[in-house]
Amino acid sequence: MRPLLLFAVSAALLAQPSKQSKTQPPQPTTPVDQDQPIRVDVDVVSILASVRDKKGTLIPNLEKNDFTVLEDGKSQEIKYFTRETDLPLTIGLLVDVSGSQRNLIDIERNAASQFFTQVLRKKDEAFLIQFGEESELLQDYTSSTRLLTAGLNQLRVSSGVGGIGPGPVPTAGGPRGTVLYDAIFLAANDKLRTEVGRKVIVVITDGVDQGSRLTLNQAVEAAQKADAVIYSIDYSDPSAYGGYGMVFGGGGGEGYLRKMSDETGGHVFKVDRKHPLDDVFKQLQEEMRTQYAIGYTPQNDTKDGSYRKLDIKTGNKDLKVQARKGYYAVKPEIR
C-alpha cells in the first residue's frame, strides 16, 4: 500500500475490512457500523507508534493531544487517532533457514506456531517465507493457524555453502547463503505493498546477509513504501560456526537489523538465555497490540516520489516514541 493512500476510517479510525471484503463497495450506515468502513476522499499519511518510558515499559494510555507530528520539520494536524489494541494485522513471518540456523529451526518452528495461535484474530492474516540461499513462500495469506503450522513444518535448511562444523563458512567468492535483504524486499514489495491496514514483517535471523542481489537500503525503502513495520528477532547460534564466531560471519548483524527496524518504526528483540524465543514472541505480541494509530493530511500534498522525514514526539520528554522515520510521497496506483 502506498504511504499516501485513499484511507479507510471508521468513526474511531482505521477499522479495516477483512481481505475477503476489500473488493466490495463500501456500504456506509447510520449510525456507523464499526465493522463497515467509510471511504473518505483525502490522502492520509498513516503512522503506527509505540511509546516506552525510560525503563522500556510500553505506555498504552496516551491521548491524541499528547502527540506532535512533524513532517520535514513542519507541524501537522493529527486528524485521526486511536489507541485500540485490536486493529487488524497482516503479518509476514520471515525465517532464516541458512546453515548457521540449522540448530534453531525446530525451536523457531514451535515458537512461531504458538505465536500465530495466540496473536491471530478474526480479521488478521499472515504469510510465511523462508530464506537461505533463496527466498521461498511456504504459505500465502491465511488466517488459519493450521495452515501456518503446516507451512512451518516445511522449514528446511537452505544453504549453498559448506564449511567447518554444522554451519556455513563464507568463502572469498561471496556465495549466496542468506538472502536477508532480498527476502525483506519480497515481503514488502510483492506481498504487502498493495494491502491495507496494519502491516508487519517479523524476521527471525542472525542479521547476516550473504549474497542478496538487493542492498540493505533497498530493503528498507521497500518496507517504507509498503507502510510495513519491521520487527527483528536477533537469534544466532555461535556453535554453528565451529567456535570461530564472527571471524567467519557468525552473528554480528544486530546493527543491520536495528537500521531496518528503526527506520520503519519497529524494534529489535534479542534472544538469549534470559530471553528465550517464546518470551520474545510474547513481547512482540504485546507491542503489536499496544500501538497508537495516527493519521494526518500532509500540508505538502505534492506526490513527487520524494522522501519526507517524520518526527513524532510526546510532551513528556521521559517517553520515547517508536515510529517510522519517514515515507515516500508516491503517486497513487490505479488498481
Q: How far is it, in rounded angstroms, from Cα 153 to Cα 110? A: 9
As a whole number of angstroms, the longest Cα–Cα distance in the chain is: 68
Q: Which CATH number fits domain 89-288: 3.40.50.920, 3.30.1700.10, 3.40.50.410, 3.80.30.20?
A: 3.40.50.410
Per-residue pLDDT at 252: 58
Res 241: pLDDT:
59
The rounded distance, in Å, linking the Cα atoms of 185 and 217 is: 10
**Residue 201 amino acid letter:** I
Q: Considering only CA atoms, which of 149, 176, 154, 187 is closest in space to residue 266? A: 187
- Rounded to 5°, angle at Cα 192 from 187 and 196: 160
Mean pLDDT by 10 residues, the chain (335 residues): 38 39 39 37 82 94 96 96 80 95 94 93 94 96 96 88 36 63 97 91 94 96 95 88 47 85 95 94 90 94 92 95 94 57
What cell does 215 get?
A: 542492498
pLDDT of residue 23: 37
Cβ-based neighbours of 280, under 8 Å, separated by 6 or more: 233, 269, 270, 271
DSSP 257-309: HHHHHHHHT--EEE-SSSS-HHHHHHHHHHHHTS-EEEEE--S----SS-EEE
Q: Do 52 and 86 contact (CB within 8 A), yes or no? A: no
| Cβ-count burial 123-140 (b if 16+ within 10 Å, e if not) | bbbbbbbbbbbebbebbe
Domain limits, the chain: 4-83+292-328, 89-288
